[in-house]
Structure 1
Amino acid sequence: MYRILMLGELSSKIQKRMNRKDRFEFVTTLKRPEGIFVRSAEVPNDLITKDLLVIGRAGAGLNTIDVETCTQNGTMVFNTPGVNSNAVKELVLTSLLNSVRPIEDAAKAVQELNGEDILKQSEEIRNEYIGDELEGKTVGILGLGTIGKQVARACFDLGMDVIGYARQPRNQEYFEQVFHLKDLLPRVDFVVILLPLTEETTHLFDEEAFSLMRKEGVLLNFGRGEVVDNNALLQALDNEQLSTYISDFPSTELLNHPKIKLLPHMGGTTEKALQNGGIVAMRNMRDFLIYGTVRQSANFPDIFLPFTAPTRVTIFYQDYPKIFSKISQKISTHNIDIDILESERCDSYVYTLIDLNEADMAKVKKLTDEIHSLPGVIRLRILRNPNWAPTIYL
């Protein structure tokens, strides 16, 4: 039985669906789990032990997981990009609309009225809440992945001019693409950040970037908080180099500023997104633990192989000359037949699935001990086919 440490909420219905054959135990406290399910919580490095086989992230970002340490440990890390993309897109659109129409202030003002002629009173104050429209304005989308393209398309459909920024060319008819911020910031009324956090994107918005923005510009950050240099941001707002900052990543120094609206990191948090993310994450985790299959991993290559033999050996190892031939020689020496195998590479690592026509676990264990002793082998597992039955000839 695999023990899964839950560092995020998952409905009991999904847990029951995954655990129909009592293969998993879901726990909330455990020092040495075989699997970890997480949404946005930090994964402490002291949980990355030799027992830890997999970390499943329901969501896209991996900044709360030490992926490099996991790789060195042979722990597979995967995420579920795309399952919450519509939720994030709709929150971006909501924020864009709210930035031009003072809906919240207007609604609050109506609640403060008294008397029988509320409609008349409301009409008398409505000129205080005249907003603007998005149609005809220009928006810059920074990051043209799944979410970025959806936001760009939605903005285009609202009648906005769309300029996209990304390192790789994107061939889309509904936006113009540029490759340098200096070619985007002076031209747009709104900037939407949907970039991941990398060395290149950390503090991408610094004093120089803010100096290029329009004074009436609105900056919306739904990528990562550290993409924006908060000190430079506060200075830019005080100097009226932009009008408004909306962020899904609160920080202490940005609280209670009249030109800043902070949201509680709620971009991908809807009932539908949470459910879909949990389902995909648990399905990928189940398939990896039981079959060795890999989907959407950050440090293992994606791989799939139908499991038709009695035994499967999974090997994660550093690639170096002739290591695979040494593995094959070991198998041949032990007189075990290979049914089928599949091997894929990710950076300098290789992940191999080998199905063996051998049900004698003692014999398989002796073989795998020798393979595991080869230089560069980081993680080796023996899996029994849960659906295998020997063929009986009559």
Structure 2
Amino acid sequence: MYTIKTLNNIAQCGLNVFDQDRYTIDNDSDHPDAIVLRSFNLHNVEISENTKAIARAGAGVNNIPVSACTERGIVVFNTPGANANAVKELVLTTLMASSRNLFAGVQWTRTLEGQGDQVPKLVEAGKKKFVGKEIKGKTLGVIGLGAIGALVANDALNLDMDVIGFDPFISVDTAWKLSRNVKRALTLEELFANSDYITVHVPLTDGTKGMFNEDAFALMKQGVHILNFSRGELVNEQDMAAAIEKGIVAKYITDFPNDHVLKMKNVVPIPHLGASTKESEENCAIMASRQVKEFLETGNIKNSVNLPNASLPYTGRRRVTAYHKNVPNMVGQITAALSDYHLNIADMVNRSRGDYAYTMIDIENQVNGDVIPGLLEKINQIEGVVTVRVI
């Protein structure tokens, strides 16, 4: 039996992934095999030596001590793409609504409360202040063509927009899903210069922090709209305020408001609603739970943020998994340990990620249960091995 601990309210459809005959959901357990959570802060929590996996039902993992987990061999999962449709819908909604000055118009209309029969006349007289523009025929620049960016790009084409995209790291899977009518920008500078609207869908890294800055704004069209549903720190807020004052940026739509942003004019502050839908929460819960289940039962790793992603079709044979330092002759030492017990290898995969690597080996012949403790001890004694399991 495996024990799963949840540290937030996880949608029941996600927990249903765990078969009752093989799993126990015990939120009071001090030694769970895996933890499933959303935004719970794990940084000040002691994680059990028995814990093998932590799954974040969402994209960001800043609430998880990833580096410490990496050193201990605890695989950390997230759920990229599970909330993609929710974010896409909000991007397109705010893109159109801000173009039509809908938010400001609705806010102004509410100030007319109490003026009785004069309201219709006041509305007609005041609506000219909120004349907007249509998005049809305008150019949308999409930075980052992952799960969310690709959906935004494809649907914007269906709204008769011209779309240009920039992503030097686009995956093969995403490329297959992206419309051929999305034009490729070879540089960010090219995208900045040719877009009427810009939406960004990249992670926060040292390379992307503050990417919207004075130099970037200087390249943009006058009156550009910028949509940020990724991370607030992608934008240099002082430079954004200056660009708004100069009229370079006509609207800044952000899902990450703070006090400074709220003081700027022409900002549409969204209260971090990007993935806040019932469907998104359910998708994330199911995806996180499936990844944990797959790892515990087969050793396969998909969508890990710290360990190498690795997959080997599971045939029911005994499987040895080892997480170890990425050093020469490590695989040779592990296979030598198997040979000492006269075990033949049926299939094997080895994947590395930085200083660490992950090896899975399927054993061809039958393995007596009394062999397993000795085999585990022998592999654990190899210098550089962090964790080892026999499934």
TM-score normalised by L of structure 2: 0.86
Q: Is residue 341–residue 352 contact of structure 1 (8 Å, CA) maintained in 2?
A: no
Cα shift at 1:272 = 1.4
Q: Which residue of 2 aligns with 1:219?
A: 226
Q: Which residue of 1 aligns with 2:6?
A: 6
Alignment of 1:93-242 (within 5 A): 93-107=92-106, 109=109, 112=113, 122-123=123-124, 125-168=126-169, 172-242=179-249
Distance 1:197 1:331, change over 3 A: same
Q: Which residue of 1 aligns with 2:24?
A: 24
Cα shift at 1:275 = 0.8
Task: Report the AA paired with residue 317 of structure 1.
Answer: H
Counterpart CA distance in 2 for 1:56 and 1:244 is: 36
Query: What SS does the corresponding residue of 1:91 show, helix, strand or coil?
Result: helix
> 2:386 pairs with 378, 381, 394, which one?
378
Alignment of 1:277-316 (within 5 A): 277-298=284-305, 299-309=307-317, 311-316=318-323
Counterpart CA distance in 2 for 1:45 and 1:313 is: 32
Counterpart CA distance in 1 for 2:358 and 2:5 is: 25
Give 5+ residue unaligned stretches, structure 2: none
Task: Report the AA paired with residue 388 of structure 2.
Answer: L
Query: What SS does the corresponding residue of 1:240 show, helix, strand or coil?
Result: coil
Counting aligned pairs with the same residue, the percent is 32
Cα shift at 1:151 = 0.9
Q: Which residue of 2 aligns with 1:346?
A: 352
Distance 1:277 1:49, change over 3 A: same
RMSD, aligned α-carbons: 2.8
More divergent stretch after superposition (16-25 vs 367-376): 16-25
Q: Greater RCO between the two (CA within 8 Å, min separation 6)? A: 2
Counterpart CA distance in 2 for 1:160 and 1:188 is: 11
Alignment of 1:255-270 (within 5 A): 255-270=262-277
Structure 1 residues 35-63: Cα deviation after superposition (integer angstroms, max 9, x where no partner):
22233444416545533311212233344
Q: Which residue of 2 aligns with 1:388?
A: none
Cα shift at 1:190 = 1.1
TM-score normalised by L of structure 1: 0.86
Query: What SS does the corresponding residue of 1:152 show, helix, strand or coil?
Result: helix
Distance 1:226 1:283, change over 3 A: same
How many matched pairs?
Answer: 380
Q: Is residue 141–residue 199 contact of structure 2 (8 Å, CA) maintained in 1?
A: yes
Query: What SS does the corresponding residue of 1:10 show, helix, strand or coil?
Result: coil
Structure 1 residues 344-385: Cα deviation after superposition (integer angstroms, max 9, x where no partner):
3133533223344555444211121011110121111233xx
Task: Report the AA paired with residue 50 of structure 1.
Answer: E
Q: Is residue 296–residue 302 contact of structure 1 (8 Å, CA) maintained in 2?
A: no
Q: Is residue 13–residue 286 contact of structure 2 (8 Å, CA) maintained in 1?
A: no
Counterpart CA distance in 1 for 2:232 and 2:105 is: 29
Counterpart CA distance in 2 for 1:223 and 1:77 is: 20
